[in-house]
Amino acid sequence: MKILLGEMTREEASKRFTPDTVFLLPVGSVEQHGPHLPLDTDAFDANYACIEAAMRCSDPKPVVLPPVYYGVSLHHMHYKGTITLMPETLITVIVDICTSLVRHGAKKIVVVNGHGGNAHALGCALQTLSHQYEEVLFVLDNGGLAEGTRKRLFTGRNDVHAGEYETSTSLYNRGDLVQLEKAKEGEIIFPSRYLEFSAAERAHYFPFMDMVSSNGVLGNPEKASKEKGKEMWEAMIAGLVNLIEDLKRSG
């Protein structure tokens, strides 16, 4: 059974638009990831998670859409190579893609987000769609399905961008593209401890990355390991499989 919509013919695709098929839409970004990780890490990883999870699901397997490679990366625009959408553009793209799916009969759509900067726009898009199409279930996975494993494996503060966590997961699924000798912990400055990304009691703000970190890295990539990356991926993929199987069973 094919899982990639892009590889199906229209006849094959038309058989998959049934009410219990789960559709997975990976969304990423193209943005600086420190001096050591590829620009498309978030897009590659979101797509990777969807494909790995889909392959491990029972039949009928979910359908994985071609990924949305670009995301909201306004905060990384001081670094060359970053390509950003405006938040309203991403909202429009997601609404248009999901509306196409709904017109063909999709009833269960999961957006798998690989980039924290997309979370607000994706939330807006799915909130709007859920209001418009009451009979369709729209779900947003911002990476929280394996939060317990993440907290256990990665205990460093503010480890949210190209740090120990993300360098570990990249060492596992794209180790040949990780330039580990260049991986250095950034010097982090926040205007208030209540604005730290890992603060238990926090408020949100939206600074440019180079206002917060000296090298565009948040977290310590020097502590990364392929083994931790493997364990993290296993947990994330298992979490996504569990969600999909639950959604398949739900009315």
Binding residues for Zn ion (CB under 5 A): 41-42
Q: Which is nearer to Zn ion, 16 or 161 (CB)?
A: 161
Minimum separation from the CB atom of position 76 to Zn ion (A): 10
**Cα dihedral: 59, 241, 21, 88 (round 10):** -150
Q: Which is nearer to Zn ion, 222 or 246 (CB)?
A: 222
Minimum separation from the CB atom of position 169 to Zn ion (A): 9
Minimum separation from the CB atom of position 244 to Zn ion (A): 23
| Residue, CB closest to Zn ion | 42
Minimum separation from the CB atom of position 65 to Zn ion (A): 20
DSSP 139: E
Distance CA 25, CA 97 (A): 9
Q: Which is nearer to Zn ion, 219 or 239 (CB)?
A: 219
Q: How far is CA 234 from CA 46, 64, 134, 149, 151, in A?
A: 14, 19, 33, 10, 15
Q: Which is nearer to Zn ion, 56 or 157 (CB)?
A: 157
> Cα 32 vs. chain centroid, distance in angstroms?
15
Minimum separation from the CB atom of position 250 to Zn ion (A): 31
Distance CA 167, CA 178 (A): 8
Distance in Å from the first CA to the final CA of the chain: 23
Q: Which is nearer to Zn ion, 39 or 64 (CB)?
A: 39
Which of 62, 68, 39, 38 has the alpha carbon at shortest distance from 50? 62
Minimum separation from the CB atom of position 9 to Zn ion (A): 34
**Cα dihedral: 179, 29, 74, 122 (round 10):** -150
Q: Which is nearer to Zn ion, 41 or 82 (CB)?
A: 41
Distance CA 121, CA 87 (A): 5
